[in-house]
Amino acid sequence: MMICGEGPCSGIPNNYISVLAKKFDAGIVSLEHRYYGKSSPFKSLATQNLKYLSSKQALFDLAVFRQYYQDYLNVKFNRSSNVENPWFFFGVSYSGALSAWFRLKFPHLTCGSLASSAVVRAVYEFPEFDQQIGESAGPECKAALQETNKLLELGLKVNNRAVKALFNATELDVDADFLYLIADAEVMAIQYGNPDKLCVPLVEAQKNGGDLVEAYAKYVRDFCMGVFGLSSKTYSRKHLLDTVGTPESADRLWWFQVCTEVAYFQVAPANDSIRSHQINTEYHLDLCKRLFGKGVYPEVDATNLYYGGDKIAATKIIFTNGSQDPWRHASKQTSSPELPSYIVTCHNCGHGSDLRGCPQSAMVIEGDSENCSSPDAVNKVRQHIVEHIDLWLSECRGEIRSCRD
């Protein structure tokens, strides 16, 4: 089971999961997350209609679908209704957390889970996110990014529209929304294994007395928007307030989950921040209130109490994280025999690199590790994954046979 997360489910990805499927002679099925893509129960996404959008509901969807599909297989192959295939669950990022939480809540329905870059710890204020970006970028690039952000904030005061036009973002009336886009754009390079796309031109511009703002704007236009498809619309309040369900509604829907369950508020650290200090707790809380009304608040403590956060008390879950990924600070990074955790360490090892490979500017077929700065680091973790899956599937098959006997 490949779990889809906070967006339309575009089918089975041809990443390292396809390699694992061949190795274990497995079929792959995938389920779209409720409310996203074509799976919305309502045409209107007004706040009152979002009351069934939560990770808990998504887990029950997975459980029901898993049972439905097992019954379908038994009928298709003319087998007894009590026959059980061994199942293994996979996910990356939020769906990685769902993968871990599914094993926690429904251990009888999966032999184990892979939780890649799994954000299992809900975080109210998350300054570690920005700090990791600075650490991964390195001192020269970090300094260039900090200077660029200062110049942008100054430029907004002098010629607001002209600055936003450089980034194809004139639709963003609220300066803090624009500065959030600016922060996310720098994250995009580090998180997805493309640090040099960001840092090489910026450091070069700073060393040679070039225009830092123009160098950064070119990176955003050409790479973030041109290759990754980043759009200023994602940050537009008019867009986020739109309650008509469309494929682009994922932005509003994810903000609802952020504003009710997990937060992950990527606030500027008090000292030595890269992102603007306008991106603070108040900014996030105000946005939640404007999008969904009063009384909407991220119940972070309740979420962590329910699932356990990074102290999740489950078994047979593999946790993997990329060394450069800022999201790893919301994951489980300590290892134990029942909950093994691995860090894939290399210069461009980011979000989900164990499954997706690197860099991720385009789909890496079968998650090929060839272009990771240390393919051996990726392949070593993948070998651990194979060993755990092999062991847990064999144990699971033994349990299934015992139940039949």
Q: How far apart are CA 184 and CA 57, in angstroms?
A: 29
Q: How far apart are CA 180 and CA 157, in angstroms?
A: 16
Angle between helices 94-105 and 300-307 (to 10 degrees): 50
Identified catalytic residue from 130, 184, 310, 325: 325
- Annotated active-site residue 93? The verdict is yes
Of 207, 231, 250, 226, the C-alpha closest to 9 is 250
- Annotated active-site residue 325? The verdict is yes
Identified catalytic residue from 18, 40, 55, 93: 93
- Annotated active-site residue 284? The verdict is no
3-state secondary structure the chain: CEECCCCCCCCCCCCHHHHHHHHCCCCCCEECCCCCCCCCCCCECCHHHHCCCCHHHHHHHHHHHHHHHHHHHHHHCCCCCCCCCCCCEEEECHHHHHHHHHHHHCHHHCCCEEEECCCCCCEEECHHHHHHHHHHHCHHHHHHHHHHHHHHHHHHHHCHHHHHHHCCCCCCCCHHHHHHHHHHHHHHHHHCCCHHHHHHHHHHHHHCCCCHHHHHHHHHHHHHHCCCCCCHHHHCHHHHCCCECCHHHHHHHHHHHHHHHHEEECCCCCCCCCCCCCCCHHHHHHHHHHHHCCCCCCCHHHHHHHHCHHHCCCCCEEEEEECCCHHHHHCCCCCCCCCCEEEECCCCCCCCHHHHCCCCCCCCHHHCCCCCCCHHHHHHHHHHHHHHHHHHHHHHHHHHHHHHC
Identified catalytic residue from 351, 353, 354, 388: 351
Phi-psi label, residue 29: left if phi above 0, alpha if psi -120 to 50, beta otherwise: beta
Give yes or no for a contact between 117 and 91, defined as CB atoms under 8 angstroms apart: no
Phi-psi label, residue 13: left if phi above 0, alpha if psi -120 to 50, beta otherwise: beta
Give yes or no for a contact between 75 and 68, defined as CB atoms under 8 angstroms apart: no
> Known catalytic residues?
93, 325, 351
